[in-house]
Amino acid sequence: MRVVTSNICTASNSPYLPGCKRSLRVIIWLLFYVVAFSQSASSQTPPPKDTSQKQDAATIRITTELLQLEVIVTDKKGQPVRNLKQMDFELKEDGKLQEVTYFSVGTSTQPARWITAEAKGNQSITTSPKIRATGRYIVLLADDFHLAPDSLMRTRQALVKFIDQQFSYIDKIALITTSGQLWTYQQFTNKREILKRAINRLAMTERRASSIAGDIPRMTSYQAELIQNRDRDALALAVNEIVRKLPDITPDMAASMALGKAQQMVEETSFHTRATLSTLEDVIRSVRALPGHKSVVFLSDGFTLGGSQQGNFYDLRQITDAAARSGIMIYSLDTRGLTTNAMDVSQPGFGQEQPPGVRMRIEADALEVRKDALNALARDTGGFPVFNTNDLYLGLQKIVADSETYYLLAFEPQETSRDGRFRKLEVRVKDHPEYVIRTSKGFFAPGDKSGNNSKKESGLKTALTRNTFASLVPPRDIPMEMAVDFVDSGKSDGFAIITAHLDLSGLKFEKLNDRFNATLNVMGSVFDEEGKAMDRFNRKLALTLKPATYERILKSGFVFDCLVKLKPGFYQVRMSAVQENSSQTGNVSEWVEIGDLSKKELVLSSIFLASEHEKLYTGPLQNEPSAAEPTDDQQATPMPSQISRRFQRGSHFDYTFFAYNAKSDANGETDLVVQTQLYSGTKVILASPLAPLKLSAEKKELSFVPHVARLTLDDFEPGNYELRLLVIDRVAKASATRSLYFVVEP
């Protein structure tokens, strides 16, 4: 591999096409619905080779659902069992043998191939199977309703270490909280810096007055449930504490006080528990459309499931059903760390409780009860819980390593009764009863009974969290990809350059007078980290295409470019494309950091890429662009490398960036140097010598220093890489970095 550098800059306007007209229209986000389908013929692994005409003729009629289960098999020592075949497995639904219609094997480096459906138009009732291999999707679900302060600190530290040392660019991770406090961050991303910013924003949720330490009586949520369930010892413990601390209160009054507080605490506990489980279920169902290995890491101190009052309990089978239908496993990580039954002797009144030993028994039982839900969530969905470890990072390592080898089994449930009854699933390996099998334990059959409780909980979740899990799997009727990059004029005028590519091959065009017509409304919003809307843009694309342009757009796609001027800060850009008079839509979101030149510190622009067939970005904006609209012919173009960042092995790409606020020495000279670093995962595979960044004599008037380089990919193995640029200002004794990820294909 070679890195060839040069110092080239032409001060000119951005070649990125303008055309964003700001408006007050609110961006529309649509939920993504999945159409379930079934497969009529079985497949073997690896998937059959492409036989073009034969496979094109084959179709799958959408008459029933197809469930795809991930199955993990370990031996008696807990080691993964490899090299199993489809014929080795036996799958039963309510004890009845089912036919496995599709089978695939996945590993941490070679994911299993999932079946997806691609419908051709709203009227289509058949579809051809598309079998795709993808990376892993990992949801880190932080249960901030039930995280104590010390648990929150441990969770942050473990997650940051996990992202730094275990994160792979091919994987996509979403950090979600049960309270919804990180709603602007709740999308899948493969950007390390975005995930770390989200982790650092994890905070405690508001605690209710009834659970404040020092209240009289001192009462835990578990004790409150016992009191509501008429446990005499739990009630006596509270009554005796009230009478001891408040001598003027009679035992009857104390009992009334204890019952009232217990009821209040149970209601609050039930509210948070139902909100937590509803969020978990909603997240799982929302990722059903994603093909590939999916898992949820549920980080929580544990919780009780509510009191005995009707409606307080959340049927955990709803989550098991969601996991089975989404092909997902839950791994529970107890964030309390190592737990013991030791009492806190510093608490007021320790040793004076009556009846003797009751508090110790209650708190010891509470430790186990809080584990029960974590255990059930994991075991019933094929995952496992991690308890009693102060090193949560090791727990995360163990969870990630669980996908070293797994099997994908697809089947069509044969029971046709629509009774809404829960159906139990059982998978075993023939001739190996000693093997341990982990997969989802069951699902609800279609019918009025299934999903009722989920509907009851939806209002609670929506009112409580503001979660918009549609952003986890955005609508893809109009596939969209986007890059958002930072550049400055050099005069503290920061811009976000928004470049989006729209795949219009599935768009419905109307042919009229030898022209192909369609109208798209492209809308976007810019949010700060708190979720406050900072800017909006809206543009109507009235496409009236000649046949040649129409054919080119169907093949290559359509590029939408936009410039938004922003103050320094960290922003999320969300864009939506909606076809008029149609339900077809697409959504995409990205983050961008706008540097602050006013601090007179070293700042770098984003890195701009160009393949050997593309024009490289030529320089920062000098003035805000004109409102000239690009033509359809200009924008009918393949996805730019700045968005895709995918290159063929043996090719090369050029890249450029701009350094601002370089300090000058006593002679008016700057002294900037740059080092190019290349990473494969966390391993450094190249670190170039320091190269000087200098302005030529004719460019001395520029307020920024450009850098252009070429990276050849002759010696790169196919895979995922990170390009990291380190710039050092030797005069100011300061440094700055920028990085991006790219993919080398065979």
Cα angle: 429, vertex 433, 437; to 5 degrees: 55
Contact at 8 Å (CB) between 653 and 612?
yes
Q: What is the DSSP string of 258-311?
A: HHHHHHHHHHHHHHHHHHHHHHHHHHHHHTTT--S-EEEEEEE-------SSTT
How far, in Å, are 78, 200, 370, 469, 470 from residue 466 at the CA level?
A: 41, 20, 26, 9, 12
**Band of residue 17 on the pLDDT scale cut at 50, 70, 90:** very low
Question: pLDDT tens digits, residue range 427-464?
Answer: 999 999 999 999 999 999 887 544 444 444 443 443 33
User: Which position has the higher pLDDT, 132 or 108?
Assistant: 108
E-strand ranges in 670-733 read: 672-680, 683-687, 691-693, 704-712, 719-729
Q: Mean pLDDT across the stretch 109-138? A: 58
Q: What H or E segment, with its residue span, contains residue 102?
A: strand 100-107
Three-state SS sequence of 159-202? HHHHHHHCCCCCCEEEEEECCCCCHHHCCCECCHHHHHHHHHCC
Question: pLDDT tens digits, residue range 666-689?
Answer: 888 889 999 999 998 778 999 999
Question: pLDDT tens digits, residue range 296-346?
Answer: 999 999 998 765 554 567 889 999 999 999 999 999 999 998 876 544 444
Angstrom distance (rounded) from CA 664 to CA 555:
51
> What average pLDDT is seen over the chain?
80
**Band of residue 631 on the pLDDT scale cut at 50, 70, 90:** low
Q: Is residue 632 over pLDDT 70?
A: no
Enumerate domains of the chain plus CATH numbers.
3-27+475-745 (2.60.40.3880)
Question: pLDDT tens digits, residue range 532-560?
Answer: 999 998 999 999 999 999 999 999 999 99
Question: pLDDT tens digits, residue range 384-426?
Answer: 999 999 899 999 999 988 988 999 999 988 765 678 889 999 9
